[in-house]
Amino acid sequence: MLRWQRANRLIKAAIDNEESDPVRTAKRIDNLPPYLFAEIDRKKEAKQAQGIDVISLGIGDPDMPTPQRIVDAMAKAITVPRNHQYPAYAGSKAYREASAEWVRRRFGVELDPASEVLALIGSKEGIAHLFPAFVDVGEYTLVPGVGYPVYHTGGILVGGLTHWMPMNDSNDWLADFESTPADVLAKAKMMFISYPNNPSSAIAPVEYFDRAIAFARKHDLLLVHDNAYSEIGFDGYTPPSLLERPGAKDVAIELFSCSKAYNMTGWRVAFAAGNAEAIKALGTVKSNIDSGIFTAVQDAAIEAMLGPQDDVVQMSAIYQRRRDLVMDTLGSIGLSAREPKGTIYVWAKIPDGYTSAEYAGLVLDKAGVIVAPGNSYGPDGEGYIRISLATPDDRLVAALQRIKTDL
Ligand SMILES: Cc1ncc(COP(=O)(O)O)c(C=O)c1O
């Protein structure tokens, strides 16, 4: 080959190379909003880089450690060689039995551990994988007007559509499924509800659960109750399970998690319970994607669920005290909120004249405090911010004081 021919070839290859784009992401990635908590972390780091002592009331990650009895169970389980091998896909027999036993003790509901319980790598994972199990391209999921972001983004990832169920102060933050238009219902497969609710902290009367079950039955929907805050109740309130209600298992599954109940967010351990067909479908998706939860973690979770529950009671008392701290101060900083009976959040209405994002931005810029803008949880969150109680009392008081004086 002549020298000029070779040179031409090299130039052409370089141009081709420049124009080629081997890393072409799927369009569904472009449709995803930035993940809320990753965004909050980014803002926090930027402020900290400026030397500002940022106090985060943004993320719902318990500040208290996992109870010692659970850590001890893990320390023991980690030395067992069998636990070093692949875990069982659906969760170990012992873990599924313990989950069923926990549900029986806590709610008086009987479950078959073999067919009605499935271990999850945190309930987030379960929520996300319900979409490939139940929603085809162009089909709807009924999603609360404010809620855990994955109810919406999980749909985007499979080419599904979201119908936001209206949820606001006038309907006591009980997602209004009954107003869903007929054309949406004709293409809907699944409906999420979650009480005690993140972010609004609302609780649901059991009659609401009954209506949701009847609605799901009438319209052939899988009803998913995300009960991530089942163990955090205030003023004597103990959150119920949807599975306690008649007919629930015909149409519903419920998600329970060790994350908030036992300060185990980092351990990634939860379970789904309820309708056997739905549990099987979710298990089928999962067995093609993940290989279960480290069995030692499952052993620790067994201790969490079946050991003495005094730590759970103490945790609720701490969050209740922090709730009171926030409620006592809110008025003096121009915010208002309903008094939460559960969860680890206060859902506060912001003063007129700001959007949620503007107000959260102001709080960060002027006071160095992070709060979560309500609109990040869905369209009905505009006009609100979420204040997390997962912060030590002194930092919580300092944050509120700063907002009061600096804004
Ligand atoms: C309502 C709700 N569901 C699910 C999750 C995810 O929890 P997990 O740690 O079990 O994945 C959260 C976490 O904050 C939540 O608030």
Which tokens go with 276?
């056997």
Query: Is the pTM above the cut of 0.85?
Result: yes
CB 177 within 8 A of CB 215: yes
What's the CA-to-centroid distance between 150 and ligand 1, angstroms?
9
What's the CA-to-centroid distance between 122 and ligand 1, angstroms?
7
Q: How far apart are CA 390 and CA 344, in angstroms?
A: 7
What is the number of the ligand 1 atom nearest to the C-alpha of 127? Answer: 4
Burial class (CB in 10 A: 0-12, 13-18, 19+), 301: buried
Angle between helices 276-287 and 123-134 in degrees, nearest 10: 100
Instruction: From residue 126, give the alpha-carbon distance in Å to each of 90, 99, 107, 150.
Output: 12, 15, 21, 10
Closest to 200 (Cα-Cα) out of 372, 400, 390: 372
CB 137 within 8 A of CB 189: no
What is the rounded average pLDDT for all residues in the chain?
Answer: 94
Q: How confident is the model at residue 41 (pLDDT cuts 50, 70, 90)?
A: confident
Q: What is the pLDDT of residue 38?
A: 73
* Residue 19 pLDDT exceeds 90: no
Q: How far apart are CA 272 and CA 251, in angstroms?
A: 14
What's the CA-to-centroid distance between 10 and ligand 1, angstroms?
53
What's the CA-to-centroid distance between 119 and ligand 1, angstroms?
15
Listing from the earlier edge strand, what are the strands of the sheet with 55-57?
55-57, 369-373, 384-388, 345-349
Q: How far apart are CA 255 and CA 274, in angstroms?
A: 9
Closest to 299 (Cα-Cα) out of 130, 151, 80: 80
Q: Which of 194, 259, 264 to mutate to test the pocket of ligand 1 (most atoms within 8 A of CB)?
A: 259
Instruction: From residue 30, give the alpha-carbon distance in Å to each of 25, 215, 372.
Output: 8, 33, 23
Pocket of ligand 1 (CB under 6 A): 60, 122-124, 148, 194, 198, 226, 228, 257, 259, 265, 270
* Residue 11 pLDDT exceeds 60: no
* Residue 33 pLDDT exceeds 90: no
Task: Return the bridge partners of 191, or none.
Answer: 142, 223
Q: Which of 19-23, 141-145, 250-254 has the lowest mean pLDDT?
A: 19-23
* Residue 123 pLDDT exceeds 60: yes
Residue partners of 118: CB distance under 8 A and separation at least 6 = 90, 91, 96, 126, 271, 272, 273, 279, 282, 283, 286
Q: How confident is the model at residue 34 (pLDDT cuts 50, 70, 90)?
A: confident
* Mean pLDDT on 220-229: 98
**What are the tens digits of pLDDT across the range 140-172?**
999 999 999 999 999 999 999 999 999 999 999
Q: Which of 61, 123, 224 to mutate to test the pocket of ligand 1 (most atoms within 8 A of CB)?
A: 123
Q: What is the pLDDT of residue 13?
A: 57
